[in-house]
């Protein structure tokens, strides 16, 4: 048992989710780091515990409600839920298959809906839900299915915020720009460099920069903000860059 506030982070085996798990633990939460990559999330949670942080691991597929429920019910309460699990792949619109489109929606949208809903069912007033959209929600080429999934996350966030506001549960989204994580590093180095060059200042964000915004929206001290999407993209979403 713990008297700390308890935060759950999906997709926490690496990248933005892992940086968020560490940040929330430093901010004083007990953190349950959830990922479908059980071996990796166990290892990363152990690494954080070795640094004195209160981080537990749970093997969870965000599309599998039973695994989400099991992780939540293993703790006495739910104070914050960060839905950071997501997938990305690219395809020209003319070649995009229904299978690829459905798989993208399944993880990025249904995999946000399930943990958010199960968390909200267990939250008291003051609960915080943070979803992860993307600057790509505004549009882009060669990833229409990803764009659609991340625009859906913004709509879902607004709808959840409206239904949960009377219970004083805040639901907000962070929309990162191009961020240096295993997701983006899985691209060939020349492609990573080309993408990075399109960013304002020519640099990718660090996962810690994104975690900082997530931590702000997950904090019990952040009040009166709900249904919002905070773009953390160095200003790329403002346009005017010739893209
Ligand atoms: P990543 O690929 O480095 O990490 C994602 C994590 O989610 C992995 O540990 C993976 O195992 C986990 N995951 C995937 N499907 C899962 C499932 N069904 N159940 C449980 N865990 C699952 O990705 P990254 O870059 O850290 O991205 C995190 C979030 O931020 C994603 O939603 C992504 O779409 C979003 N994002 C990332 C950007 C970037 O440039 N890296 C930009 C904008 C948004």
Give average pLDDT by consecutive 10-residue segment, the chain, 243 residues: 91 99 98 98 98 98 98 98 98 98 98 99 98 97 97 98 98 98 97 94 97 98 97 94 59
Residue 38 CA to ligand 1 center (angstroms) comes to 15
Residue 164 CA to ligand 1 center (angstroms) comes to 26
Give the ligand 1 atom nearest the CA of 135.
43
Q: Domains along the chain? A: 6-178+207-233 (3.40.50.720)
Q: Which residues pair with 82 in a beta bridge?
A: 9, 130
The number of beta carbons lying within 10 Å of the beta carbon of residue 163 is 11
Please identify every residue annotated as catalytic.
Answer: 146
What gap in Å lies between CA 140 and CA 150, rounded to an integer?
Answer: 12
What is the predicted pLDDT for the residue at 124?
Answer: 98
pTM for the whole thing? 0.98
Give the ligand 1 atom nearest the CA of 133.
44
What is the predicted pLDDT for the residue at 242?
Answer: 57
Give the ligand 1 atom nearest the CA of 15.
26
Residue 15 CA to ligand 1 center (angstroms) comes to 7
Residue 40 CA to ligand 1 center (angstroms) comes to 14
Let me know how long the chain is: 243
Q: Pinpoint the alpha helices (H) of the chain.
A: 15-26, 38-50, 65-73, 98-105, 111-122, 144-164, 182-185, 189-197, 207-218
Query: Which residue's alpha carbon is at the smallest distance from atom 23 of ligand 1?
Result: 183
- Farthest-apart Cα atoms in the chain, separation: 54
Q: CB of 30 within 8 A of CB of 24? A: no
What gap in Å lies between CA 146 and CA 143, rounded to an integer?
Answer: 5
What is the predicted pLDDT for the residue at 218?
Answer: 98
Q: Which residues pair with 131 in a beta bridge?
A: 83, 173
């Amino acid at each position: 048992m713990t008297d700390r506030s308890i935060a759950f982070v999906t997709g926490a085996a690496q990248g933005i989710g892992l940086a968020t798990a560490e940040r929330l633990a430093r901010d004083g939460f007990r953190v349950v780091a959830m990922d479908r990559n059980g071996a990796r999330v166990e290892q990363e949670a152990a690494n954080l515990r070795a640094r004195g942080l209160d981080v537990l691991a749970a093997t969870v597929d965000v599309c599998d409600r039973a695994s989400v429920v099991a992780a939540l019910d293993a703790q006495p309460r739910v104070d914050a839920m960060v839905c950071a699990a997501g997938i990305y792949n690219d395809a020209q619109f003319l070649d995009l298959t229904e299978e690829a489109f459905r798989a993208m929606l399944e993880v990025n949208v249904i995999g946000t809906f399930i943990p958010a809903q199960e968390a909200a069912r267990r939250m008291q007033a003051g609960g915080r839900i943070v979803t992860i959209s993307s600057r790509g929600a505004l549009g882009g080429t060669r990833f229409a299915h990803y764009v659609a999934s991340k625009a859906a996350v913004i709509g879902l966030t607004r709808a959840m915020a409206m239904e949960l506001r009377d219970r004083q549960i805040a639901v907000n989204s962070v929309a990162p720009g191009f961020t240096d994580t295993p997701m983006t590093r899985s691209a060939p180095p020349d492609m990573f460099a080309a993408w990075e060059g399109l960013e304002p200042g020519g640099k990718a964000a660090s996962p810690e920069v994104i975690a900082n915004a997530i931590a702000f929206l997950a904090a019990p001290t952040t009040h009166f903000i709900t249904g919002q999407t905070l773009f953390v993209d160095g200003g790329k979403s403002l346009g005017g860059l010739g893209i």
